[in-house]
Structure 1
Amino acid sequence: MHIFTAHEDDMVFEEPYNVSGRRIFPWPEAVEEPNWGGAWVDVAPGATSTPHDHDENEMFFIVEGSGVMRIGDETRRVRAGETVFITPFQDHDLTNDGDVRLRFVTIWWGGSDAVARDRAKWAAAFGVTDPGPAAAPAERPTDPAAPAAPADPAAQTAPADPAGSPAAPSPAAPSTAAHPGQVPA
């Protein structure tokens, strides 16, 4: 039997988040690290967790205490027995405006690191090379009136010169667009 504890003396202050917590993974003697994370978290009386955002979905399961949850421009009171869902890239924080600790369990999933680990795991299982996110279809233009990029980048041409003579084809510029969580090449 494996038992994970999050008692008072198990908690570690995480300065970047201004909370005390205990991350559930890695837990090598019990569970192979899944493609989601989790932690027990305490917000001290009078404290606010550091506002932040990230590329994962996240849920807070409030198990003790109460406070004010902020996601973007919206705030709501929360208390034990309630669950909060936070979508990716939403700035959020949790304020404990009470006089006892505010404790919650958080889980997060779907971020770029987890997706990359999952792709690598399945590629290895099937004995294939993961082509990575670069093999994904190109992004659509954000302006619907914008012309679509030609299928053959070599077919791109520079504008004609003022005298009206046709321009020579120009080499395609490398893309700087990135999908969320992807660093441009």
Structure 2
Amino acid sequence: LDVKGAAVREHPDMPSVLWAKLLLNLNNALNALSGLPLATQIADRRWRLLFARQIDEALAALKAAGIKPAKIEGVAPSMIPRILRLPDWLFRRVAGRMLAIDPEARSSMWEDLNRRRPTEIDYLQGAVLGLAGKNRIPAPTTEAIVRLVRQAETAGAGSPGLTTDAVERSI
């Protein structure tokens, strides 16, 4: 691939890169459920804790399956939940780039819900649940997120604007 202005890096293990990308995309569903702009949502530790729990469940399933996801921007995937769990003030210092996005940006899954289109929940959290189920790894947070997104899809009313407490109660 030779496109002017496009940075392309070759990687010998694309499945590990795709699993790493999937780990980060697990936040899409939380963002869709919250209705908040991504910068606002990821700045709130309560939402990050839910995100971290999904990544923990995914990492356990990946480990059981013998899959090692690639580093994300040079960071081991196992470190991502630790970073997400940091207090807000420290998270801003350590992961400030995650917050340096359009203040109104939202995930594509939020957009899908608001346009009454099917979401990619089965390709993201569904992939984690498939791997977890095959390897008998519990994934209660991920299961609850899938259930809530499917309820929102069925309701056809856009993002339900849930709070972290509402998500926690469904787990």
More helix by share: 2
Q: Same fold, TM exceeding 0.5?
A: no
Task: Find the structure with the greater CA-based Rg.
Answer: 1
Q: Output the TM-score relative to the length of structure 1.
A: 0.22
| Structure with the higher strand share, 1 or 2 | 1
Alignment TM-score, normalising by the size of structure 2: 0.23
Q: Which structure's relative contact order is higher, taking Cα pairs within 8 Å and 6+ residues apart?
A: 2
